[in-house]
Structure 1
């Protein structure tokens, strides 16, 4: 299968490695950075230096390929998807942006190719897990989805290190969040809904952020009373971000905030991804609860270290592409994440990265 991968950043490099080394994909990687493309020199991939903000250049580099895998910043999602449709390419991305996803859904109507956005960790894997658990219940009461990409060794006041896109991070902190309350689809404010819990003896906080639910609100409306998604952080993080964004007004000056974060908050490869889903409702005549709790750790190999967010995000989108290639998923139109069966994903050669994680045994 011939794939053009848009973006050679932190996640894109891992996607390129997984697909190109599998033996089933011919991969060309497109980016606007010479440095990023040079980092792929050890892989069996072709590279192309392209102005990714230029529609014509994007369209031209898709010619002759079967699929586009988009790992560019979220604000380019609709542009790339539109060009993929014009080129007759199947489309997969990692966006968490709600507006972009809705526009891509409209773009997919009547299309002869596949459009599958939100193929990462959250949205993405978390939606697959939640939907899988929900199928066990005849009457759904509550679905709670919690995900965190956290430094293994927090040292600053934010108790945070940069582990993925700063653009995506600020986007999810600033936009309204979808939820279901009392059976009705609604919007809630980001950074609100603070809760605290412990897992494996570590204390965490969780609060509303945008995009993590994917399309689950549409899928489960009319079936569930309460559905929400919250981002997990170490205690104190939410209060500082609320002060920066809301009290100091930096939600209206996001570019400066991103610059500050990139300069002041170091990146880390030593991270951990936490996935925590609880579903409750009627099951075989009893009020029951099902829990899925995992921690996925970084690969600290000296020759090829990978962060946990690289592993989980790249594994999820590569598994989606692979399941499509194998014919397990629909071959045209819009594909929701929850159309992927969790057993299929975990059995996939890429999705198995989630099987290698450690299941959390105790929750407090």
Structure 2
């Protein structure tokens, strides 16, 4: 399968290594800079330096390809998807942006190729899990998703280190969040809905952030009383982000905030990803609850250390592409994450990264 991967950044590097070494993909990796591409030397793939924000360049890159994997910033998603449709190649991405996903869904109408956005961790794997749990109830009452990509050793006041895209992080903190309340789709404010819980003896907080639900609100509208998604952080993080974004008005000057965070908050490869989904409702006339909880840790390989967010995000999109290649997913039109059967995802050679994680036995 001929695949072009756009973006050789933090996540793109891991995607490239997984696909290139699998033996089933003829991979070309494209980036605007040569430095990240040089890190892929020695792998069985081709590289190209090109302006990935130029429509004509994108179209030329995608012609003759079977699929494109878009690992570029979220604000380029619609542009890449548009050129993918023009080139006649299948489209996969990692975007958490709600507006971009709606635009891609519109592009997919009547297309002869598949468009599958939101293939990462959240949105992505979290939606696959939630949909799987939800289907086991005769009457679904609540479906709650909580995900955190956290430093293993927080040391600053924000209790946070950069583990993924700053653009994506700020985007999910600043936009309204989809939810279902009392059976009706609605929007709730980012950074609101604060709650606390403990996991393996560690205290966490969770609050509304945008994009993590993917298309689940549309899929489950009218069939569930409460549906929501929240990001997990260490206690105190949300209060400081509200100070920066709302009281200091940096929500309206996101460029400055991103510069501050890149300059002052260290990145880390020593992270942990928490996945926590609860579903409750009626089964056999009884009110029951099902829980899916995982912790995924970074890999400290001397040759290629890989963070937990790299592992989980790359596993999500590589498994989606792999299942598509095997004909296990729809081959045209808009493909939702919840169309991926959880057992098939976990059995996949890439999706098995979530099987190898540690299952959490108790939630307090």
TM-score by length of structure 2 reads 1.00
Quote the Cα distance in structure 2 between the aligned partners of 1:264 and 1:38.
27
Residue correspondences, number: 364
Quote the Cα distance in structure 2 between the aligned partners of 1:247 and 1:54.
37
Match in the other structure for 1:313: 313
Quote the Cα distance in structure 1 between the aligned partners of 2:94 and 2:88.
20
Matched residue SS, 1:43: coil
CA drift of 1:319 comes to 0.2
Match in the other structure for 1:304: 304
Quote the Cα distance in structure 1 between the aligned partners of 2:223 and 2:201.
34
Aligned 1:236-275 pairs, distance under 5 A? 236-275=236-275
CA drift of 1:42 comes to 2.5
> Deviation per CA, 1:274-326, whole angstroms, max 9, x where unpaired?
00000000011110000000000000111111000000000000000000000
Aligned 1:71-220 pairs, distance under 5 A? 71-220=71-220
Quote the Cα distance in structure 2 between the aligned partners of 1:53 and 1:88.
19
Quote the Cα distance in structure 1 between the aligned partners of 2:125 and 2:90.
20
What residue ranges of structure 1 are gaps of 5+ in the alignment? none
Quote the Cα distance in structure 2 between the aligned partners of 1:298 and 1:42.
23
> Deviation per CA, 1:114-143, whole angstroms, max 9, x where unpaired?
000000000000000000000100100000
Match in the other structure for 2:329: 329
Quote the Cα distance in structure 2 between the aligned partners of 1:342 and 1:54.
37
Matched residue SS, 1:311: helix
> Deviation per CA, 1:121-175, whole angstroms, max 9, x where unpaired?
0000000000000010010000000000000000000000000000000000000
TM-score by length of structure 1 reads 1.00
Matched residue SS, 1:92: strand
Structure 2 residue 65 is the aligned partner of structure 1 residue 61: no
Match in the other structure for 1:232: 232
What residue ranges of structure 2 are gaps of 5+ in the alignment? none
CA drift of 1:80 comes to 0.1
Matched residue SS, 2:224: coil
Quote the Cα distance in structure 1 between the aligned partners of 2:224 and 2:17.
40
CA drift of 1:31 comes to 0.7
Quote the Cα distance in structure 2 between the aligned partners of 1:130 and 1:107.
26
Quote the Cα distance in structure 2 between the aligned partners of 1:354 and 1:39.
26
Quote the Cα distance in structure 1 between the aligned partners of 2:84 and 2:288.
44
CA drift of 1:41 comes to 1.1
